[in-house]
Structure 1
Amino acid sequence: MKHTKYILGAFVLASMAITSCVDDSALEYDVEKPASITQMEYLNDYDALKSYVNRSTDPNFKLGSGVTVSEYVKEGLVYRMSNSNFDELTAGNAMKYSSIVKNDGSMDFSKVIGFVQAAKAGGATIYGHTLAWHAQQNNKYLNSLLADKEIEVDPDDADPALRMVVPTKGSNPWDSEIYYDPAAPLVVGQEYTISMRIKATNATNVNFWPGVKGGATQYLPGFAAGEQWAEASVTFTANYALDRLRFCFGTFEGELFFDDLSLKATGSDENLIANPSFDEESLTGWSKPGWHSYTFGIVAVAPGPSTYWVNLVSNSNCEGNDVSCFFATEKKDGPKAASFGAAGTGADGVGRAIVIESGDDPTNAWDTQFFVKVPHTFEEGEAYNFSMKIKASKPATITSQAHNNPGGYLHYAMVGSPQVTTEWQEYKNSGVISGSQKGMNTIAFNLSESKVATTYYFDDIVFEKQESGNTIPLTDEEKAEALTGAMDRWIAGMMTACDGYVTAWDVVNEALSGSDGDGDGKYDLQSASNGDPAANFYWQDYLGDNDYVRTTVKLARQHFAESGGNPSDLKLFINDYNLESWWDGNGKAKSLVKWIEQWESDGVTKIDGIGTQMHVSYILDAAAQKSQEESIVNMFKLLAATGKLIKITELDMGITEKAFAAGIKTEDMTEEHHKAMAGFYTFIIQKYFELVPAAQRYGITQWAVTDSPTSSSWRGGEPIGLWDLNNNRKHTYAGFAAGLSGQ
């Protein structure tokens, strides 16, 4: 058989498809020419891939390649071929969080430093991938930053408190009462808040029934007391000139303690309780009925283990998209996930609220219900606090029930009967779970009590369970602060390691989900509620939809400059996939543009570019392929209209029989399949140059340079490269070059 000399893309194949790159120079071998090689011989005439870029019209355009850093820094074939055929390199994994940050939070940037040194020596730039992402994070370390904090308790640090010793419990709340008479009656119509620290030798509920001596009584929610100190409060409007505060605990037996009492009118700092911390040996204002047998007095009480309240409701402020705790029954169709209203329906006039409509002429008060379900089943004796903000289109009274899951009725009373007006007001209730309420995990509100159509609005919903111990959960603010510090250290370390050499970054990677759960006209951000929290870490759930991006951008610019970089050289990209989606009319691309506008609306945050990944497949179904091509054209138009730099960041291609079908494997490919893919590469790249203005054309990175091995986790066994696994050029190489050259 005839022998010939032909060019092989001799290349060391690394563990991922993205590590391979084009041939660097003609390495000549005498080999026996296979019959199938004839149709590929034309590829021998092609030059190195980057030579096809028109540098006169695109002097700053960067043709990129994905590489495995461990292969590149060996300075062998991968190094030489990458440098001679590509302008810019993107690390497959070496610059990601989980590759650098250890379980204790320490960071090892040695591979990054070596990569930068090797690229600099080879004349290649580096595209940073990536600073902020939810995947490939060190979850163990990040979750440790959110762990409960230790509480220092000195057992010898006794504090005076008011103690009631009740030898025998009665049948009614009024069988044991203690009174406090303020110096002056409360003002009718004035709002007040009374709060205290409270505990008891066993769980109980202290009824709070202030009144007028010898006259009217105002029945209000009480105070839940557990075995450890806890904060409790009641906010109320005085309906009478209340001159006696009645605390009723007749069904309790044991020791009951009050401390740090406060009674203040809204807007005032004056505490109407004398000696509120019982630091003085004075019980002025305190008394009890003469016929009650219990005793009371001031004693020193050791602090013991601390108590705190844990909010069990997810998305309490209704600003996220998680509806796992909110359900509603409307039109008698059974409990379904509740719906959020539009922006501006919330209690603050800006955010959102849950909106539920009750119908006219209901049969039962429970025909329309709102449910607050929490991931905890309450036991008898557990203390709780509940609060929410509420208003309605008409004044109404609603009642509450205890349920085990929405619709699983247990008891007719749970958190009282809120009086609802047309103005926002906060409703609070606290207590201890009774035997009839045992097993509940859901509060049900009956919204058809008024028997007329009414629209209800609910916001800032909190259902707390009392916990005790020597640790306490971090607040949302503390969690955000801890993670902001971690992000700061991470970005500072990365910028220091890169020493100002890496001037372009995926500052935030894959931020968007693929759906609009809150109905605001743009896709939601990725989060634990719509993603996989076991595998990923969603920084945005703690830093917020806006500050997640704004903080990362700010820190990147700050630390780049501190590390010797020229601030005007730094280009920060938001990178995402499926921007070319035809199945939703480029919904993700449109949403990303809106999000960027929102992130930049503070007048400080500046995002330089948009990265579109484009992990595509040629579809043999002609109609579907046409739709895909049309959506690619539309995507480039949408992105170009932003005026920002546009980069194709991770381009690779498979081939399928139909849309969304499994990819055809390499061994099943035909010559026609290969040529169809080559033509699609030409189409994509030429449309990029045609539709993106020259000043906005940052570059294109080919992600998977060789076909994917069967063992690869990325499109395993598929023909996604410009070279085959033997490092021979494929028809797709010619298609890619044609796209770059415009010929």
Structure 2
Amino acid sequence: MKTNIKFHKSFTLAIATLGILNSCAEFENREMFVDKPQSIIDQETRDSYEVLKKYIDYSTQPNFKLGAEINIADIQNNTLLYRLLNTHFNEYSITLGALNHNTNVLTDGTINTEAIDNALSKNDTTPRFIHAGHLVWHENQQDGYLNKLIANVILPGISGIDNVVDFEKDAVGTSYPTNVNNATAKVALDPIATGNSGKVLHILKNPSTVFPQFKITLPAGRKLAYYKNVTIDFKGDGCCGFYGSGMRMAITENYGNPNLTGYGSPQSFGIPINAWGRGMMILPIANLNLTPAQKELNTFVLTIGSQTGAPDYMIDNIKMNWEIPGQTIVKTPEEKKEIITNEMDKWLKSIGETGKNRINSWSVVYQPMDNNNPSLLRGNPSGAALPANTFYWQDFLGKDYAAIAINKIKQYSNQSDKIYITETNLDEYPDKIDGLKDFIAYTEQKGAKVDGIATEFALSFDSDKSKVENALSKLASTGKLIKISALDIGIGVNITSATPSFYVQQAEMYKWFVKVYNSNIPANQRGGITFRSPVDQLTSSTWRPNEPIGIFTNRNGYQRKPAYIGVIEAFQNK
């Protein structure tokens, strides 16, 4: 059978092999070794180093902090990244969005710092130094709210009708003054009352002409300049007012016999003879050519009636139409400055009190200097339309804006906190350092001490090293603490395309930068180096997405990269 044949063949082979082994004079036990991949050996070497912060000598540089940018959500959720940074760094930097004005200030001006407070509360249990900012910036501002506060006040036009005389409260027989003697203008019952009126004024004189007069006081806040016309109800017979020389009107300060301005006859207004023409007779006030002084009157005498030789007619419901035009109340620069100062106070009070005894240093003002005119502040002096969420505080507070901001954050936080002004792109715009130096001198003359200058470097393999060294040298000449508040070095490709040689070059670049920082910045001026992203960027990141810019990977438990050793060797001056 096939199965048995296979078995016997195998058994015979086993016996033969055993015989060969037994025939040897001495048995030799050989172990088999498989070489480790070089990548694993390299990783084990990197892992054998101490945590990063232990390689810093603080004895000669007491202000130096080894920092890492962190999201407040990582602090609050005690993430693996947060625990990694706890192990390797002694300062957190909270500057990427968490303390932006429009992140914490709502559209109605309400300030909500609950997220920051919660994160800082978590950090209270294992405290680290914290650098925070950027408090006063031109980007990421709640610009809609701020601009609304300083906008000119636009008052819309309003209009209406005042019924200045209607006789309803008068007793029958009550007399009103007239412009001449021997005439009567008395309140009477309306002979054909229709519900619009119960009492009217009966004007009677024979054979001469007469005009009744009314002392009128307008509602508070209104003046004759706002009034457009006088409307009057009229009823007259053909013999005694309906016909004649037409209606007449005058406005004076006192009673008397004024010159009257002529208008059309009652018939010309479409009023039927011997019947009420209610609301039909409208007499424009503009025809009176009032003087500027008269237009300011609130109380005056109205003389009005029909020019006829034998007056015998009735009038009722004297009304005046008014219109207050819309106007724009322009806010002065002084008013705008006061408003924006108060808003800055409210904003920095909220942040300062939240960070009190938790935050140790602040980037109070961010990017103050203009790239094209480095001796001047950034701003929008032309008043041109700005991108969304953009607001220049300095346009309203002037050059004092940094001093105002610094003094307020010191007022609400701790006097011992370090104060930085942060400027960027100093390798490309080194003249900004001179402008910044002058600006800091001005700010300190205003009583606001600036401890240091913070700056950022986003470098690559092809970055001009001479420009970087020049910027660091010029920064050192200011005599201030110099803090690298955001450092990252890219390799020009994404994570999936990176080769070991790229990582070696990145390590050399990190090593070079740390060494050149130490060689250019005196020990007593070193404020520290903060890694913008200690771990490689995720695909979803807004800054250099999917680029391996960190000294740790962003996967497999955040493994140390060659750059980790490069940084250590720089601190060891190797």
Match of 1:591 among 407, 432, 435: 435
Residue of structure 2 in register with 1:271 after alignment: none
Matched, 1:112 2:132: no
Residue of structure 2 in register with 1:50 after alignment: 53
Matched, 1:507 2:401: no
1:433-582 aligned at under 5 Å gives the runs 472-516=329-373, 522-527=375-380, 533-540=386-393, 542-560=395-413, 565=414, 567=415, 569-581=416-428
Match of 1:680 among 509, 518, 539: 509
Matched, 1:728 2:559: yes
Give 1:636 shift: 1.7
Q: Aligned partner of 1:640: which letter?
A: A
Match of 1:713 among 542, 545, 560: 542
Matched, 1:631 2:467: yes
CA-to-aligned-CA distance 1:24-64 (integer Å, 9 cap, x gap): xxxxxxxx976643444421222111111012222332111
- Whole-Å Cα distance in 1 between the matches of residues 404 and 60 of structure 2? 36
Give 1:722 shift: 0.7
Distance 1:254 1:700, change over 3 A: farther
Tell me the SS of whatever aligns to 2:403.
helix
Maintained 8 Å contact 1:479/1:542:
no
- Whole-Å Cα distance in 1 between the matches of residues 226 and 132 of structure 2? 63
Q: Aligned partner of 2:62: which letter?
A: P
Give 1:280 shift: 9.6
- Whole-Å Cα distance in 1 between the matches of residues 531 and 289 of structure 2? 72
Maintained 8 Å contact 2:63/2:525:
no
- Whole-Å Cα distance in 2 between the matches of residues 66 and 653 of structure 1? 14
Give 1:276 shift: 10
Q: With structure 2 as the length reference, what TM-score do the two structures score?
A: 0.64
Match of 1:60 among 48, 57, 63: 63
Maintained 8 Å contact 2:225/2:295:
no
Tell me the SS of whatever aligns to 1:505.
strand
- Whole-Å Cα distance in 1 between the matches of residues 85 and 226 of structure 2? 78
- Whole-Å Cα distance in 2 between the matches of residues 505 and 257 of structure 1? 65
In the alignment, structure 2 segments of 5+ residues that lack a partner are 1-34, 160-218, 230-285, 302-319
Maintained 8 Å contact 1:506/1:574:
yes
- Whole-Å Cα distance in 2 between the matches of residues 654 and 528 of structure 1? 37
Match of 2:448 among 605, 608, 613: 605
Give 1:111 shift: 1.7
Q: Percent identity?
A: 28
Distance 1:152 1:605, change over 3 A: farther
Matched, 1:691 2:534: no
Distance 1:153 1:82, change over 3 A: same
- Whole-Å Cα distance in 1 between the matches of residues 88 and 500 of structure 2? 26
CA-to-aligned-CA distance 1:449-502 (integer Å, 9 cap, x gap): xxxxxxxxxxxxxxxxxxxxxxx4533333332222111111101111123321
- Choose 529-538 or 724-733, whichever is displaced more: 529-538
Maintained 8 Å contact 1:48/1:84:
yes
- Whole-Å Cα distance in 2 between the matches of residues 636 and 153 of structure 1? 61
CA-to-aligned-CA distance 1:61-104 (integer Å, 9 cap, x gap): 21111111112222342332222211111123222222211122
Give 1:529 shift: 5.8
Maintained 8 Å contact 1:525/1:545:
no
- Whole-Å Cα distance in 1 between the matches of residues 432 and 452 of structure 2? 16
Q: Aligned partner of 2:143: which letter?
A: N
Match of 1:141 among 126, 140, 145: 145
Match of 1:80 among 83, 96, 100: 83
Distance 1:544 1:677, change over 3 A: same
CA-to-aligned-CA distance 1:240-293 (integer Å, 9 cap, x gap): xxxxxxxxxxxxx97877647xxxxxxxxxxxxxx99568989xxxxxxxxxxx
Distance 1:608 1:55, change over 3 A: closer
1:86-235 aligned at under 5 Å gives the runs 86-91=89-94, 92-149=96-153, 151=155, 156=219, 157-160=221-224
Give 1:162 shift: 12
Maintained 8 Å contact 1:163/1:257:
no
1:647-662 aligned at under 5 Å gives the runs 647-655=483-491
Tell me the SS of whatever aligns to 1:130.
strand
Distance 1:258 1:124, change over 3 A: farther
- Whole-Å Cα distance in 2 between the matches of residues 254 and 654 of structure 1? 80
- Whole-Å Cα distance in 2 between the matches of residues 690 and 523 of structure 1? 30
- Whole-Å Cα distance in 1 between the matches of residues 226 and 349 of structure 2? 53
Residue of structure 1 in register with 2:459 after alignment: 616
Maintained 8 Å contact 1:73/1:79:
no
Maintained 8 Å contact 2:228/2:322:
no
Matched, 1:702 2:555: no
Maintained 8 Å contact 1:89/1:124:
yes
- Whole-Å Cα distance in 2 between the matches of residues 75 and 163 of structure 1? 71
Q: Aligned partner of 1:674: which letter?
A: Y
Residue of structure 1 in register with 2:19 after alignment: none
Tell me the SS of whatever aligns to 2:125.
helix
Maintained 8 Å contact 1:58/1:694:
yes
Q: Aligned partner of 2:357: which letter?
A: G
1:267-306 aligned at under 5 Å gives the runs 304-306=324-326
1:32-51 aligned at under 5 Å gives the runs 36-51=39-54
Give 1:539 shift: 2.7
In the alignment, structure 1 segments of 5+ residues that lack a partner are 1-31, 166-252, 261-274, 283-299, 309-471, 620-624, 656-662
Q: Aligned partner of 2:122: which letter?
A: A
Q: Aligned partner of 1:591: which letter?
A: G
**Structure with higher helix content:** 2
- Whole-Å Cα distance in 1 between the matches of residues 465 and 49 of structure 2? 27
Q: How many residues align?
A: 404
- Whole-Å Cα distance in 2 between the matches of residues 671 and 532 of structure 1? 48
Maintained 8 Å contact 2:120/2:358:
yes
Give 1:150 shift: 5.6
Distance 1:530 1:163, change over 3 A: closer
Residue of structure 1 in register with 2:268 after alignment: none
Distance 1:302 1:124, change over 3 A: same
CA-to-aligned-CA distance 1:164-198 (integer Å, 9 cap, x gap): 99xxxxxxxxxxxxxxxxxxxxxxxxxxxxxxxxx
Q: Aligned partner of 1:73: which letter?
A: Q
- Whole-Å Cα distance in 1 between the matches of residues 385 and 569 of structure 2? 41
Maintained 8 Å contact 1:528/1:538:
no
Maintained 8 Å contact 1:259/1:278:
no
- Aligned alpha-carbon RMSD (Å): 3.3
Q: Aligned partner of 1:739: which letter?
A: A
Give 1:652 shift: 0.8
Maintained 8 Å contact 2:223/2:295:
no
Distance 1:605 1:56, change over 3 A: closer
- Whole-Å Cα distance in 1 between the matches of residues 83 and 152 of structure 2? 51
Distance 1:713 1:109, change over 3 A: same
